[in-house]
C-alpha cells in the first residue's frame, strides 16, 4: 500500500511539473504577444504622430504670412525700413475723445468718415491741436467726406456746418440693429472695389474708452468683418484681429509703439497658439478665458510672428512722445 501511495505521489508531482512547465511557457508566449502588439501599436502611433507633426510643420513653412504694420503712426514723410507694406487707409471717427495723433491719421487717410457724434469731436477738438490757428480755418481744413449713423448724437449746428462744406450725410436712423461703426465699415467696403479690398485698412479713432458695452460692440465689428483690416485706436493702445489658421507677421515700430502687448482669444478658445519675438513666447499653447491669456507680454525684436487655430486679438501699447 505504501508503494502504491508513493508511486501515486510521484505521478502527481510529475503531472504537476508538466502542467506548470506547459502553462508557464504559454503564459510567457502570451506576454510576448501582448507586448509585441502593444509595441507595434505604440510605434505606429508614434510614427503617425510624428508624420502629422511633420505635415503641420511643412504647412507652417509653406504658409504665406499676413503682414501687419503700424506705419500710420509715423509722419507720412518718415522712411520705414522695417515694413514695405502698402495700404490704403480709411479713417472712421467715433464719438470719443480724439487721440493726440488724430491729425496724423487724417493725413494718412484717403477717406474720412465720421460716425454720427464723431463729427462733434472733429468740430470741437480738432482746433485744439492747432491753438495758433483760427478754429474756423481748422474746421474747414479737416472736413469729413462722409457723416453716417443714426443721427441721435450729432448736433444740428455741426451737421449744418459740414453739409454746407459738401460733406455727404447718410441718415441711418431706420437701422437700429447695427452700431454706427458697423454702418461705416459696411459703407467703406461697399465703396471700395473688391479687387482693392486686400490693400484696405480702416483706422478707427475713439474706439476704446468710455462705456464698456460700446468697446465690446466695436470689438464685435472686428469679428463681423474678419476679412477686412480694421484697427481700433485710443491714446494708449491699438487692437486688431489676427484671423485664425493664418500666419501673421507683425512689424514693430519701436519709436511709437510697445513694448507691452497682448494676445487674447476671441470667439472661441485657442487650442494651439505659437509666437516668436515675444518675451514670453507661446509654443502650441492653449488659451482661453478662465485659463491662460497672454496679457502684459513684451515685444523683444522688430518682428513678431503669430499662428493660432482661433481668432486672436493683438494689442500693443502706443507711446506718449
Composition of the chain by helix, strand, coil, percent to 5: 40, 25, 35
* DSSP-based three-state secondary structure for 93: strand
Cα 132 to Cα 138: distance, rounded to the nearest angstrom: 10
Sheet of strand 168-171, all strands in order from the earlier edge strand to the far edge = 168-171, 146-149, 111-115, 88-93, 200-205, 229-233, 237-242, 312-318, 257-265, 294-298
CB 146 within 8 A of CB 171: no
Confidence (pLDDT) at 33: 47
pTM: 0.80
Class of domain 84-235: alpha beta
Q: Which helix (H) or strand (E) holds 190?
A: helix 180-191
Confidence (pLDDT) at 288: 96
Confidence (pLDDT) at 49: 38
CB 305 within 8 A of CB 246: no
Say yes or no: domain 237-321 is CATH 3.30.70.360: no
Q: Could you tell me the maximum CA-CA distance found in the chain, to the nearest angstrom? A: 135
Name the region of 151 (left: φ>0; alpha: ψ -120 to 50; beta: rest).
left
Grid cell at residue 119:
463729427
Query: For the chain (length 321 residues), average pLDDT per consecutive 10?
Result: 52 52 50 47 44 44 80 81 77 97 95 98 98 97 97 96 97 91 96 79 95 96 96 97 96 96 97 98 97 97 97 97 75
Q: Does the fold of domain 237-321 match that of domain 84-235? A: no
Task: Please tell me what DSSP assigns to residue 101.
Answer: T
Confidence (pLDDT) at 10: 60
Q: For the chain, which residues make up each domain, given as ranges?
A: 1-39, 84-235, 237-321
Q: Which helix (H) or strand (E) holds 114?
A: strand 111-115
Task: Please tell me what DSSP assigns to residue 172.
Answer: -
Which residue carries 508557464 as its cell?
24
> Of the candidates 237, 222, 240, 227, which has an alpha carbon nearest to the alpha carbon of residue 200?
227
Amino acid at each position: 500500500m505504501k508503494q502504491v501511495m508513493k508511486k501515486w505521489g510521484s505521478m502527481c508531482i510529475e503531472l504537476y511539473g508538466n502542467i506548470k512547465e506547459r502553462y508557464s511557457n504559454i503564459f510567457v508566449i502570451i506576454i510576448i504577444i501582448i507586448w509585441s502588439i502593444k509595441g507595434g501599436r505604440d510605434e505606429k502611433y508614434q510614427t503617425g504622430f510624428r508624420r502629422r507633426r511633420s505635415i503641420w510643420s511643412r504647412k507652417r513653412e509653406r504658409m504665406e504670412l499676413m503682414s501687419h504694420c503700424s506705419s500710420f503712426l509715423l509722419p507720412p514723410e518718415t522712411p520705414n525700413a522695417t515694413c514695405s507694406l502698402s495700404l490704403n487707409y480709411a479713417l472712421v471717427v467715433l464719438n470719443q475723445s480724439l487721440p493726440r495723433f488724430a491729425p496724423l491719421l487724417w493725413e494718412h487717410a484717403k477717406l474720412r468718415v465720421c460716425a454720427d457724434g464723431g463729427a462733434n469731436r472733429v468740430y470741437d477738438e480738432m482746433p485744439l491741436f492747432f491753438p495758433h490757428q483760427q478754429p474756423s480755418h481748422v474746421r474747414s481744413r479737416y472736413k469729413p467726406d462722409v457723416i453716417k449713423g443714426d443721427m441721435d448724437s450729432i448736433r444740428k449746428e455741426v451737421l449744418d456746418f459740414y453739409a454746407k462744406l459738401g460733406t455727404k450725410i447718410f441718415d441711418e436712423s431706420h437701422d437700429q440693429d447695427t452700431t454706427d461703426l458697423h454702418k461705416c465699415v459696411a459703407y467703406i467696403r461697399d465703396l471700395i472695389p473688391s479687387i482693392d479690398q486686400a490693400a484696405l485698412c480702416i483706422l478707427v479713432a475713439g474706439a476704446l474708452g468710455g462705456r464698456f458695452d460700446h468697446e465690446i460692440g466695436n470689438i464685435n465689428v472686428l469679428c463681423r468683418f474678419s476679412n477686412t483690416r480694421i484697427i481700433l485706436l485710443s491714446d494708449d493702445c491699438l487692437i486688431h484681429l489676427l484671423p485664425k489658421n493664418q500666419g501673421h507677421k507683425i512689424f514693430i515700430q519701436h519709436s511709437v509703439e510697445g513694448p507691452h502687448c497682448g494676445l487674447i482669444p476671441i470667439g472661441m478658445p485657442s487650442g494651439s497658439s505659437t509666437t516668436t519675438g515675444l518675451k514670453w513666447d507661446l509654443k502650441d499653447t492653449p488659451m482661453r478665458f478662465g485659463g491662460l491669456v497672454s496679457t502684459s507680454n513684451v515685444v523683444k525684436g522688430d518682428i513678431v510672428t503669430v499662428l493660432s487655430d482661433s481668432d486672436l486679438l493683438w494689442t500693443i501699447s502706443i507711446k506718449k512722445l
